[in-house]
Amino acid sequence: MRVPTRASLRRCQHVSDTSSEQERFCSALWPRLVRAMSHYCGDVYVAEELAQEALLRACRRWQHVSALDSPEGWVYRVAVNLANSTWRRRRAELRANERHGIPMEAAPCGVSETKLLVQGILSQLSHDQRAALILRYMLGFSAQDAADLLGTTPGAVRARTHRGREQLRALSESLHARTEESHHGS
Amino acid sequence: MAPDPEQLLHETADGPTRNLDTAALVARANRGRRRVLAAATAGTLALLVGATAAGFAWSSPGRMPDLAIDGFHSGARAAELWDRTFVATEVHEDGVARALVEGTRLEVHFSSEEPPVPVGDGVDVANTDADGIMRWNAGCNSGVRAIRLGEGRIEPSEYGYASHVGCDPEDHDQDRVLWEFFHSRPTWALADGRLVLESSRSRIEFEVVDQGLWFPAGD
């Protein structure tokens, strides 16, 4: 019977530690990333495909990604890159359709009015505005960190988030006023 | 009180409809890397076997050393390729030596930088499909292509461009041949500072240079 050497055991241990670390990272980021990307691309099934692909790439370049200040930011940036690439997005859509066996047109069914209104606001924003808004207000990045990820300045990030934030605030106030009105009316 | 925009975003975001099979994902991600590691191990073992055989042959006159290094996959040496410049010394097409256009020099540089992909509005994001960037110049125009070095082949990625400088027709023809060659997924092998790229029709041998003409050190 072959006795494993100390070096081979260390190697196995290293591979196993890295895999566990990767799995923990993916598990923790998965729901946050899917939620962020569902707002970015407007479809949760496509968001899942994009998030999965981005996490796969993070694991492939783990040595590089795990040494970064913000591995999460890197994965988000990759997911946005994938979403912006037309043919990749189309492929993600096809995979999502195949996986769930439902036509894309069916997605709005059962969606709340608030969600549709939020999606309406987000869809009016440019890619850059949407990416900045999600980084800042869904993933909790500072203006400086978001600027580093998007390759711009904190001032530009603030400018990009301004419009969406104001529109969301107006929507929130109008929804709140309507709820108050209906309470008073009843 | 009305919810703030952050709350509105969080409340209306769709969560995952399924669990992520992280174990399968990590296994899939590490599969390629382990292949390269296995190749490196095989290569090291082959060299050790070869060295042992050579040593044995020295002490046993009449026996030829068996340097079985065929298993030494070039992918294991990818690290030696990055951030170096090579200049072509021999070009063969259909087995026949082909001379470069007089006065031209074929240089190729492998940069390990993360290839950027412009996505509009001045924002660049990384193309993580690729391992790095290959640049080349054959005397007139330069080409740039994001590449992967997996499986012993140069796999071109989607990001790339070429300059369009007006040159003599034979220079243009040389540019075109090289563009096609670099996009034909040529195999690559590196040994003793010599790089060999080979497609079904062509084979180009390079030697490493410290200072390239088109791609100086650190470029």
pLDDT at B4: 83
Chain B residues in contact with A164 (beta carbon < 8 A):
5
Could you give the 3-state DSSP secondary structure of residue A124? helix
Structure confidence at residue A83 (pLDDT): 78
Are A39 and B22 in contact (CB < 8 Å)? no
Chain B residues near residue A19 by CB distance under 8 angstroms = 26-27, 30
Tell me how far CA of residue B35 lies from CA of B39, B40, B41, B148, B195, in angstroms.
Answer: 6, 9, 10, 15, 22
Q: What is the pLDDT of residue B58?
A: 30
Instruction: Report chain B residues whose CB lies below 8 A from the CB of A131.
Output: 123
DSSP lists the bridge partners of residue B132 as B147
Chain A neighbors of B120, CB-CB under 8 A: 84, 127-128
The C-alpha atoms of residue B207 and residue B117 are separated, in whole angstroms, by: 30
CA-CA distance, B46 to B121, in Å (whole number)? 52
Token reading at B219 = 């470029």
Output the tens digit of pLDDT for each of chain B's 219 residues: 777 888 888 888 888 888 888 888 887 777 545 444 444 444 444 433 433 333 333 323 332 222 222 223 334 456 678 888 999 999 998 888 888 888 888 999 988 776 654 444 444 444 556 777 888 888 788 888 888 876 688 888 777 777 777 777 888 888 888 888 888 889 998 888 889 999 988 999 999 887 666 666 544
pLDDT the model gives residue A23? 93
According to the model, what pLDDT value does residue A27 have? 94
Distance, in Å, from the CA atom of B185 to the CA atom of A32, rounded to the nearest integer, reads: 38
Q: Do B119 and A52 touch (CB under 8 A)?
A: no
Tell me what the mean pLDDT of segment A12-38 comes to: 85
Q: Exposed/middle/buried for B97, CB within 10 Å: 0-12, 13-18, 19+?
A: exposed
CA–CA separation, B175 and B58 (whole Å): 49
CB contact under 8 Å between A55 and B9, yes or no, is: no
- Rounded Cα distance between B13 and B77, Å, is 45
Average pLDDT over residues A25-47: 90
Question: Is residue A7's pLDDT more than 50?
Answer: yes
CA distance B73 to B110: 19
Q: Report the first-to-last Cα separation within chain A, whole angstroms.
A: 81
Nearest chain A alpha carbon to B6: A137
Chain B residues lying within 8 Å of A48, measured CB to CB:
16-18
What is the pairing mode between strands B116-118 and B107-111?
unpaired
Residue A59 distance to chain B (closest CA, Å): 6
Q: Which residues pair with residue B93 across a beta bridge?
A: B96, B202
For residue B32, the chain A residues in CB contact (below 8 A) are 60
| B157 three-state secondary structure | strand
pTM above 0.80? no
CB pair distance less than 8 Å for A128 and B121:
yes
A177 vs A33, more confident:
A33
Beta bridge partners of B92: B97, B203
B154: DSSP letter? -
Residues in chain A: 186
Structure confidence at residue A53 (pLDDT): 85
The helix (run of H) or strand (run of E) holding residue B176 is helix B169-182
pLDDT tens digits, residue range A115-153? 888 888 888 888 889 999 999 998 889 999 888 888 889
Distance (Å, whole) CA B88 – CA B195 = 9
CB spacing of A78 vs B13 below 8 angstroms = no
- pLDDT at residue B36, rounded to an integer: 43
Task: Tell me if B90 sits within 8 A of B211, measured CB to CB.
Answer: no
- Selected residue with higher pLDDT from B77 and A75: A75
Q: How many CB pairs under 8 A join A and B?
A: 141
Average pLDDT score, chain A: 79
Q: How far apart are CA A2 and CA A8, in angstroms?
A: 12
Higher pLDDT among residues A76 and A93, named by residue: A76
d(CA B134, CA B107): 10
Please report the pLDDT score of residue B77 as a whole number.
58
Which residues in chain A are contacts of B25 at CB distance < 8 A? Answer: 26, 52, 55-56, 59
**Six-digit token pair at B189?**
């092998």
Q: Check CB contact under 8 Å for B15 and A172.
A: no
| A34·B22 Cβ contact <8 A | no
User: How many angstroms separate the CA of residue A1 from the nearest CA in chain B?
Assistant: 21
Q: Which residues pair with B154 in a beta bridge?
A: none
Pick the CATH number of A110-186 from 1.20.1250.20, 3.20.20.70, 1.10.10.10, 3.90.1150.10: 1.10.10.10
Tokens representing B1 are 């009180």
Q: Among B9, B31, B119, B158, pick the best mutation site for testing chain A contact (most A Cβ within 10 A).
A: B9
- How far, in whole angstroms, is CA A143 from its chain's centroid? 17
**Closest in B5, B11, B22 to A169, CB measured:** B5
Chain centroid, CA B137 distance in Å: 16
Instruction: Give the Cα separation of A129 and A160 in Å (integer).
Output: 5
Evaluate if residue A71 carries a pLDDT over 80. yes
Residue extent(s) of CATH 1.10.10.10 domains in chain A: 110-186
d(CA B63, CA A165): 80
Q: Backbone phi, then psi, for A162, in 5-degree steps?
A: -55, -55
pLDDT band at residue A34 using 50, 70 and 90 as cut-offs: very high
